[in-house]
Amino acid sequence: MAETPSLVVIGDVHKVWRPEDSTFLENGDQDVALFVGDLGDEDVDIVQTIAELAVPKRVILGNHDAWRSFSEKRITDNLRLSLSRLGTDHLAYDVFEWYQAGVSIVGARPFSWGGMSLRSPEVYRELYGVTSHEESADRIVDAARRAQHRDIVILAHNGPAGLSFETHDIWGKDFGKSPRGDWGDEDLELAIDRIKSAGLRVPLVIAGHMHHKLITPRGALRTRFLRAYGTIYMNAAVVPRTKQIANGTILSYFVRVFFSAGKLQGFEEIWVDPSCRIREQSRPRVMEEVG
Ligand SMILES: [Fe+2]
Ligand SMILES: [Fe+2]
């Protein structure tokens, strides 16, 4: 057990998950591991691997985890299997009580593609009875109202609307014929506003989806940590989540987050080698926004 309660965030996996990553988590002293999704492309095997990790964990599946279901506007067998393998570890519209830290972790809408459209309301209707951003915001707020703590950490696949305009912004649109603009989720923006209006605090929002290296301008880097209106936003989508260093060793990326008595104590990005040693460690620079 760590001195300060901690959790570990795993950004978009995109099938890059090694046995050493499982060992790192299973030997770690974090209280919970949080996955922001895009484990694979409706890949039940990778979902199974994550589901079998012998650690407390919660997952919010991403658009890639429901890729075929969204194009076919129906729930495929693979998506059903993925959801059943994860069971209650899938935190969609649900709450996880992180008692050691005095914080409740609330899951937002899974499978988000970002932008203004839900893409396939058919899938959301069948699974969650949700057909609009407004209804989805209601479900997120309901989960927060059930929370036992007044400090709420939100786990989402994509971040909220309202923070981005340029391609390099934390959830800025960097693709298509006319890049730029906000690719955040409207339901999450609405929900955060309403959760705060209800007198709860939201010290941290954890998401991914919009990868750290931009498509336009190609190779430029995205802002991934931002403070705005009393909340820190983290985009953990470093993709791929491994890199090779000079001697050929492959390192894996994680973010550690420390909380105590409901207060965010800090966070650090770490790169871990196959023997679970931390080889690189840095405190990310947090961009400041007005508010
Ligand atoms: Fe992704
Ligand atoms: Fe994604």
pLDDT score, position 287: 87
**Which ligand places an atom closest to the C-alpha of 236?**
1
- Dist. CA 237 → ligand 1 center (Å): 7
**Which ligand places an atom closest to the C-alpha of 239?**
1
Dist. CA 45–CA 206, nearest whole Å: 25
For residue 274, the 8-state DSSP code is T
pTM: 0.97
- Dist. CA 243 → ligand 1 center (Å): 17
**Which ligand places an atom closest to the C-alpha of 65?**
2
**Which ligand places an atom closest to the C-alpha of 14?**
1
pLDDT score, position 15: 98
Convert the pLDDT of each residue in 133-187 to its tens digit.
Answer: 999 999 999 999 999 999 999 999 999 999 999 999 999 999 999 999 999 999 9
Q: Tokens for 45?
A: 């095997």
- Dist. CA 38 → ligand 2 center (Å): 5
pLDDT score, position 1: 43
pLDDT score, position 291: 56
Q: Would residue 177 be called left, alpha or beta, if left means φ above 0 and alpha means ψ between -120 and 50 degrees?
A: alpha
pLDDT score, position 290: 58
pLDDT score, position 87: 98
Radius of gyration of the chain from its Cα atoms, rounded to whole angstroms: 18
The CATH-assigned architecture of domain 6-288 is 4-Layer Sandwich (3.60)
pLDDT score, position 53: 98
Q: Where are the domains of the chain?
A: 6-288
- Dist. CA 218 → ligand 2 center (Å): 18
- Dist. CA 137 → ligand 2 center (Å): 19
pLDDT score, position 289: 76
- Dist. CA 182 → ligand 1 center (Å): 17
Segments in the chain below pLDDT 70: 1-2, 290-291
